[in-house]
């Protein structure tokens, strides 16, 4: 399977890069073709400019500035998001990716006035993430990152797409044992992707 990994973290060290390496290495070990997109390393421009917004609905030209990213997304059968949760959302770099790349005739199409999924090539979707807060606090606040990953993203993928959400909560106070346990879980999930 061709798996597109979207990675958003600006530093070269820490837990996020370790998780990212685990994701990519295990997917490759499982025999998948991995297209690893490190948004920071590639210098992705996350800003939806006035020009981008003006042509957003014009499907004849709306992809022109981000066509390579659209092609990579459309070539994938699986999608793995690997990022920390910041301020109860995606990092701005990743949010900007969705704002710029998830366009009409890419992530959705209009058919008889109704929205239809555009990424029907994506049959498997997984998010691997970390939170500074504990799970209870995230639940009390509605856990928007989980909802975005398991609801919003799911509806633009193939109907019935398998969706997984792997989260390590409370990393500000996490023990080394919990980190190891989480990395083991990520490894198992990616080897079985």
Q: Give this prediction's pTM.
A: 0.94
Q: Is 10 exposed, middle or buried (0-12, 13-18, 19+ CB in 10 A)?
A: exposed
pLDDT of residue 116: 93
Break the chain into its structural domains and give their ranges.
2-191
| CA distances in angstroms from 96 to 64, 128, 132, 176, listed in the order given | 16, 18, 22, 32
> Which residues have CB under 8 Å from 18's CB, separation 6+?
183
Token pair of 34 as six digits = 């991995």
pLDDT of residue 132: 85
Closest CA to 96 of 8, 24, 5: 8
H/E run at residue 26: helix 15-29
DSSP conformation letters of 90-123: --HHHHHHHHHHS-BTTTEEEETTEEEESBTT--
Q: Check: CB of residue 30 under 8 Å from CB of residue 191.
A: yes
List, edge to edge, every strand of the sheet that includes 33-38: 33-38, 2-7, 78-84, 124-130, 162-168
As averages over each run of 10 residues, the pLDDT of the chain (193 residues) reads: 98 96 98 98 96 94 96 98 94 97 94 90 98 82 87 94 96 94 98 97
pLDDT of residue 84: 97
Please state which CATH class domain 2-191 belongs to: alpha beta
Q: What is the C-alpha separation between 60 and 58, in angstroms, rounded?
A: 5
- DSSP E strands in the chain: the ranges are 2-7, 33-38, 78-84, 108-111, 114-117, 124-130, 162-168
pLDDT of residue 137: 80
Q: How far apart are the first and last CA of the chain?
A: 9
């Amino acid at each position: 399977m061709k798996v597109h990994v979207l990675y958003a973290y600006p530093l070269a060290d820490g837990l996020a890069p370790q998780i990212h390496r685990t994701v990519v290495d295990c997917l490759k070990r499982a025999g998948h073709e991995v297209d690893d997109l490190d948004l920071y390393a590639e210098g992705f421009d996350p800003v939806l400019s006035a020009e981008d917004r003006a042509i957003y609905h014009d499907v004849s030209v709306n992809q022109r500035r981000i066509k390579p990213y659209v092609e990579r997304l459309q070539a994938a059968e699986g999608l793995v998001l690997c990022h920390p949760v910041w301020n109860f959302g995606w990092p701005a770099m990743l949010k900007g990716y969705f704002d710029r790349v998830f366009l009409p005739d890419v992530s959705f199409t209009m058919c008889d006035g109704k929205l239809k999924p555009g990424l029907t090539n994506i049959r498997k979707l997984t998010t691997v993430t970390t939170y500074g807060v504990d799970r209870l606090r995230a639940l009390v606040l509605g856990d928007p990152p989980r909802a975005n990953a398991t609801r919003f993203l799911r509806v633009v993928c193939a109907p019935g797409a398998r969706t997984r959400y792997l989260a390590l909560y409370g990393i500000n106070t996490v023990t080394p044992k919990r980190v190891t346990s989480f990395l083991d879980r990520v490894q198992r999930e990616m080897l079985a992707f």
